[in-house]
Amino acid sequence: MELDLIIGIIGAILSSVSFLPQVVQIWKTKSAKDLSMATIVLLASNGTSWLVYGLLKDAIPLVITNAIVLFMLLLIIFLKIKYRKNVPA
């Protein structure tokens, strides 16, 4: 196996699981108040761009990696909205 392929696989795995600790933390604490929604949305936009690029280039590893990343980020957005505190009007 070529070194560049090994490095690519390692990068894909790390990218795919990079947001898992944050998802677990939000799930356990039922809080995401300290996370910036703008940052999460920007990261999700970035993941979407890479996913579309991978689809256009027929780069399956890129598609799989970014589909997982995007799923994690959308889950974080969902949990952030779900666990936000209701502010009195």
Domain residue limits, the chain: 3-82
pLDDT at position 8 is: 86
pLDDT at position 5 is: 84
Q: Residue ranges of the chain with pLDDT lower than 70?
A: 86-89
pLDDT at position 4 is: 87
Give the whole-angstrom CA distance, residue 37 versus residue 76. Answer: 9
pTM as predicted:
0.84
- CATH code of the domain made up of 3-82: 1.20.1280.290
pLDDT at position 89 is: 56
pLDDT at position 1 is: 83
pLDDT at position 49 is: 97
Helix (H, G, I), strand (E, B) or coil at 85: coil
